[in-house]
Structure 1
Amino acid sequence: MKYDIHQSTAYSYASSVPVARHVVRMVPVDRPNQRVVASHFVVEPEPVEWTETRDFFGNKVVHIRIETPHRSFTVKTRARVEVEAPAEIAADAGPSWEEAREAADESLDLSALSPAHFLFPSPAVPLSAPITEWTAESFPPGRPMLAACVELMNRLYEEFTYDPRATDVSTPPLEAFELRAGVCQDFAHIMIAGLRGLGLPAAYVSGFLRTEPPPGKERLQGADATHAWVMVWCGEAIGWQGLDPTNALVVATDHVVLAVGRDYTDVAPIGGVVFGSGKQKLNVEVDVIPLAEEAAAGKGPASPHSRA
């Protein structure tokens, strides 16, 4: 499946900002089952400094410095990405969750996607006894790791309410858990906290969702903004599997990965420092359009690769 991605993030400030530094993670990169055909990334106002790097987890990071006084800041990404469905794996295949936990504990791998990096508390995901106890209900002795994680994902979907007004970007997982409400970031953090509480590796994924569903399918929650889901490590043979608790989906071709990390703080789309006063407003627009729909609408392909 090929997608054209149109993303725009716009900040407006109450007062003029003379100087700003930003860290931007809004450009997808090649990953297993994902290939970036073309990408184009621009910011306004024009930066005086622009540096591209890859972080430890392989995410593309753009560091920019702006010295032009401005009342707005805009990031626009255009990309064409090809996504292939991963091999289908039966939920009851693979090791038990206890075996997966033991294998993670014994792993000597220190590469970016080693399970060792995703076993412990992280800045936005502390361990929480209530979340761990609730999670443990899906992990009886001997149950296959993937089957247990799929049930946990489904319980989150069934028992929690998607409500953008319930939480904000800084809401701790335990607070969202007690509210039984939140958005994709909250559901991902709760699932990660519960799995790590049991000693199981879980990673945070940010990305995009197909905007319009296939015929006969319901529209997915979180399709108009950057989305978040979870990757769980199910042992050496099966490896990492993507699960979306917001929509109760095993990740296949409807999801485009933007960045991977331990929690939201590792993959935040935009961060940095702004020198100014007063409040700011944020507007985010995302379209992830299957290529056939782009052609039918008469739109051209994504712009050629330029600065990103």
Structure 2
Amino acid sequence: MLYAVSHTTTYNYDAPVSYCHNIAVLKPRKSPGQELLEYKMQISPEADEISERVDFFGNYITRFSIQKEHKQLKVTTVSKLNRDYESHRASFRTEACTGITLEQARKTLQKTEADVLEAKQFVLESIFIRHWGENIREYANKSFTPGRSVFEAAEELMQRIYVDFDFVSGFTSVSTPINEVMEERKGVCQDFAQIAIACIRSIGLPARYISGYIETLPPPGREKLVGADASHAWFSIFIPGFGWVDFDPTNNQIPGNQHLVTGWGRDYYDVPPLKGVVYGSGRSKLNVEVDIARIS
């Protein structure tokens, strides 16, 4: 399946900004079942300095600065992706994946194979997923019971978060502690992904944060609105002996072709779509528009 993705982020400032420095994680990375075919970024005003590198996790990082006065910053990226994830997703239902129990997973994590060592960093605390309370561990233990399949436990955890938590835009910010989200049982996709990751890490298994997009489909008989798609986040759990398996607790589903990956890391802090600092006074107003179109 070929997709064209347009992502526009606009900051309007009350007062002129004399300088800004930004980091963008907007260029989709190569990942299982996904290939980037084309990509371009347009910045207004034109950047005075810009560079691109690949970070520790293999994500594309773009750094740019604008060193002239401006009252609006507009960043538009256009990507063309080939997404063929269905065969990879089908492998999750095989015995190779579903047959690995919690005890077997923990035992395998003691080994020193390259993939295990790489995954073990995702057991550790991170900037936004740290100091989790006993309530997080207790919530995880309800699904991750002795002798149970890790895949089945993770799938049930996804389902429980979907049922137990309410999607409330604006209730949280990127820095809201996970214990507060757990207490209030409300938030948005990044919160639900990070709650799941905290649960999985609390019982000693690796989990990572996935940043990307999700294609939205209009109700039957209605046209799709331009800009109605969205940035999205979900989580992935490492099942030793099999590999990484993605789950989307916001939509209660295992991601498919409609989930497009931008990057992954320990939590939101590693892969924000756009962040930066500005020198100026006054407030800013943010607007984000995402449009995903199927080419074939």
Quote how far apart the aligned CAs of 1:172 are.
1.2
| Matching of residues 53-202 of structure 1 within 5 Å | 53-85=53-85, 86-88=88-90, 89-90=92-93, 93-109=98-114, 114-126=118-130, 127-202=132-207
User: Out of 271, 279, 283, which is 2:283 matched to?
Assistant: 279
Provide the rounded CA distance (Å) in 2 between the counterparts of 1:290 and 1:214: 17
Quote how far apart the aligned CAs of 1:241 are.
0.6
Letter in 2 for 1:273: V
CA-atom RMSD in angstroms: 2.0
Match for residue 19 of structure 2? 19
Quote how far apart the aligned CAs of 1:110 are.
7.0
SS in 1 for 2:57: coil
Aligned length: 285
Provide the rounded CA distance (Å) in 2 between the counterparts of 1:139 and 1:25: 33
Kindly indicate whether the alpha-carbon contact (under 8 Å) linking 1:41 and 1:78 is maintained by their aligned counterparts in 2: yes
Letter in 2 for 1:30: K
Match for residue 30 of structure 2? 30
* Distance change >3 Å, CA 148–CA 91, structure 1 → 2: farther
Kindly indicate whether the alpha-carbon contact (under 8 Å) linking 2:89 and 2:256 is maintained by their aligned counterparts in 1: no
Provide the rounded CA distance (Å) in 1 between the counterparts of 2:203 and 2:171: 27
Kindly indicate whether the alpha-carbon contact (under 8 Å) linking 2:209 and 2:265 is maintained by their aligned counterparts in 1: yes
Quote how far apart the aligned CAs of 1:128 are.
2.5
Kindly indicate whether the alpha-carbon contact (under 8 Å) linking 1:94 and 1:234 is maintained by their aligned counterparts in 2: no
Letter in 2 for 1:207: G
Provide the rounded CA distance (Å) in 1 between the counterparts of 2:243 and 2:274: 29
Q: What residue ranges of structure 2 are gaps of 5+ in the alignment?
A: none
* Distance change >3 Å, CA 91–CA 246, structure 1 → 2: farther
Provide the rounded CA distance (Å) in 2 between the counterparts of 1:204 and 1:124: 11
Kindly indicate whether the alpha-carbon contact (under 8 Å) linking 2:181 and 2:191 is maintained by their aligned counterparts in 1: yes
Instruction: Give CA-to-partner distance per residue, 1:60-84, whole Å, 9 cap, x none.
Output: 0011111110111111111111111
Provide the rounded CA distance (Å) in 1 between the counterparts of 2:110 and 2:189: 28
Provide the rounded CA distance (Å) in 1 between the counterparts of 2:22 and 2:6: 20
Kindly indicate whether the alpha-carbon contact (under 8 Å) linking 1:212 and 1:289 is maintained by their aligned counterparts in 2: no
Letter in 2 for 1:209: I
SS in 2 for 1:133: helix
SS in 2 for 1:106: coil
Kindly indicate whether the alpha-carbon contact (under 8 Å) linking 1:94 and 1:235 is maintained by their aligned counterparts in 2: no
Match for residue 258 of structure 1? 262
Provide the rounded CA distance (Å) in 1 between the counterparts of 2:110 and 2:285: 44
SS in 1 for 2:161: helix
TM-score (norm 1): 0.88
* Distance change >3 Å, CA 163–CA 91, structure 1 → 2: farther
Kindly indicate whether the alpha-carbon contact (under 8 Å) linking 1:9 and 1:75 is maintained by their aligned counterparts in 2: yes
- Give structure 1 regions of 4+ aligned residues with deviation exceeding 4 angstroms: 213-216
